[in-house]
Amino acid sequence: MGSRGTRTLILGGVRSGKSGHGESLLLDCPSVRYLATGPTTSSDADWVARLTAHRARRDDRYTTVETIDVAAALRSDQTPTLLDDLGNWLAAHLDAVGGWGDAPVDLTSVRSEICSAIEDFTAELVIISPEVGLSVVPPTPAGRRFQDELGALNEAVAAVCDRVVLTVAGRVLDLPAAPPTPTPTATTSTPTATAPAPTATVLPSTATDTAPTAPEKPAAAASPAPTTGEPVDPTDAENFPPVEPPDITTAAAARARHLDLTKPPGSLGRLEDLGVWLASCQGACPPRQLTEPRVVVFAGDHGVAQSGVSAFPPEVTAQMVANIASGGAAVNVLARRAGATVQVVDMSVDADTAPEVSRYKVRRSSGDLRITDALTIAEARAALAAGRAIADDLVDAGADLLIGGEMGIGNTTPATVLIGTLTRREPVEIVGRGTGIDDAGWIRKTAAIRDGMRRARRHVHDPLSLLAAVAGADLTALAGFLAQAAVRRTPVILDGMVVTAAAMVANELAPGAARWWVAGHRSVEPAHSVALEHLDLEPILDLSMRLGEGSGALTALPIVASSVDILRSMATFAEAGVSDKDEPAAALAADRS
Alpha carbons within 13 A on the beta-carbon side of 59? 9
Question: How far is residue 340's CA from residue 401's CA, in Å, rounded to a whole number?
Answer: 9
Cβ contact 489:58 at 8 Å? no
Q: Kindly identify the residues of this chain, within the stretch 403-422, that bind ligand NIO according to CB under 6 A.
A: 412
Given 304, 528, 555, 560, the residue binding ligand NIO (CB under 6 A):
528
Stretch of 106-114, 215-223, 295-303, 541-549 lying at the interface with ligand NIO (CB under 6 A): 541-549
N- to C-terminal Cα separation, the chain: 86
The mark string for 422-441 relative to ligand RBZ (x by CB under 6 A, - otherwise) is ------------xx------
Q: In this chain, which residue has its C-beta nearest to ligand NIO?
A: 496
In the shown chain, the binding pattern of residues 426 to 455 toward ligand NIO, with x for contact by CB under 6 A and - for none, equals --------xx--------------------
Name which of ligand NIO, ligand RBZ, none residue 525 binds, using a CB cut-off of 5 to 8 Å depending on partner kind.
ligand NIO
Kindly indicate which of the ranges 23-31, 122-130, 529-537, 546-554 contains the residues binding ligand RBZ, using the contact rule CB under 6 A.
546-554
* Cα dihedral value 39, 40, 44, 47, nearest 10: 100
Instruction: Identify residue 198 by its one-letter amino acid code.
Output: P
Cα–Cα dist 542/545, whole Å: 8
Q: What does R_g of the chain's alpha carbons equal in angstroms?
A: 28
**CA–CA distance, 145 with 129 (Å, rounded to integer):** 16
Vertex 18: Cα angle to 13 and 23 (nearest 5): 165
Side chain identity at 547, as an amino acid letter? L
The DSSP element (H or E) to which 499 belongs, if any, is helix 497-509
Task: Select 285 or 497, whichever has its Cβ closest to ligand NIO.
Answer: 497
Single out the segment in contact with ligand NIO by CB under 6 A; choices: 205-213, 345-353, 372-380, 493-501.
Answer: 493-501
Instruction: Tell me if 350 contacts ligand RBZ by CB under 6 A.
Output: no
Q: What angle do CA 478, 482, 488 make, to 5 degrees?
A: 140
Residues of this chain, 14-73, that bind ligand RBZ according to CB under 6 A = none
Q: What is the DSSP string of 166-196?
A: EEETTEEEEPPPPPPPP-----------BPP
> Catalytic residue numbers?
549
User: Could you tell me whether strands 163-168 and 7-12 are parallel, antiparallel, or unpaired per DSSP bridges?
Assistant: parallel
Question: 158 or 497: whose CB is closer to ligand NIO?
Answer: 497
Q: How many residues bind ligand NIO (CB under 6 A)?
A: 13
406 contributes a contact to ligand RBZ by CB under 6 A: yes
Q: Does 157 bind ligand RBZ (CB under 6 A)?
A: no
Residue 410 binding: pick among ligand RBZ, ligand NIO, none (C-beta 5-8 Å cut-off by kind):
ligand RBZ
Q: Which is nearer to ligand RBZ, 407 or 531 (CB)?
A: 407
- Find the shortest distance in angstroms from Cβ 553 to ligand RBZ: 13
Closest to ligand RBZ by CB, 286 vs 434, is 434
| 87 vs 414 by CB, closer to ligand RBZ | 414
Among 287, 387, 539, 548, binds ligand NIO (CB under 6 A): 548
**CB of 449 vs ligand RBZ, minimal distance in Å:** 11
What is the CA 528 to chain-centroid distance, rounded?
Answer: 17
496 φ/ψ angles, rounded to the nearest 5 degrees: -90, -150
Query: How far is the C-alpha of 586 from the C-alpha of 180, rounded, in Å?
Result: 65
Main-chain phi, psi angles of 34, to 5 degrees: -100, 110
Can you say how many angstroms the Cα of residue 140 is from the centroid of all Cα atoms in its chain? 46
Contact residue for ligand NIO among 525, 550, 554, 565 (CB under 6 A): 525
Nearest distance, CB of residue 410 and ligand RBZ, angstroms: 5
Give every CB contact of residue 418 below 8 A, 6+ residues apart in sequence.
456, 466, 470, 471, 475, 501, 502, 504, 505
Q: Does 522 bind ligand NIO (CB under 6 A)?
A: no
In the list 320, 335, 456, 483, the residue contacting ligand RBZ (rule: CB under 6 A) is: 320
- Nearest residue (CB) to ligand RBZ, 16 versus 421: 421
Rounded to the nearest whole angstrom, what is the least distance from the CB of residue 333 to ligand NIO in the complex?
17
Burial of residue 269, with CB atoms counted within 10 A of its CB: 0-12 exposed, 13-18 middle, 19 or more buried: exposed
Rounded (to 5) percent helix, strand, coil in the chain: 45, 15, 40
Residue 225 interacts with, from ligand NIO, ligand RBZ, none (CB under 5-8 Å by kind):
none
In this complex, which beta carbon is closest to ligand NIO, that of residue 142 or of residue 543?
543
Binding-site ranges for ligand RBZ (CB under 6 A): 310-312, 316, 320, 406-413, 434-435, 547-549
- Residues near ligand NIO (CB under 6 A) are 412, 434-435, 495-498, 523, 525, 528, 546-548
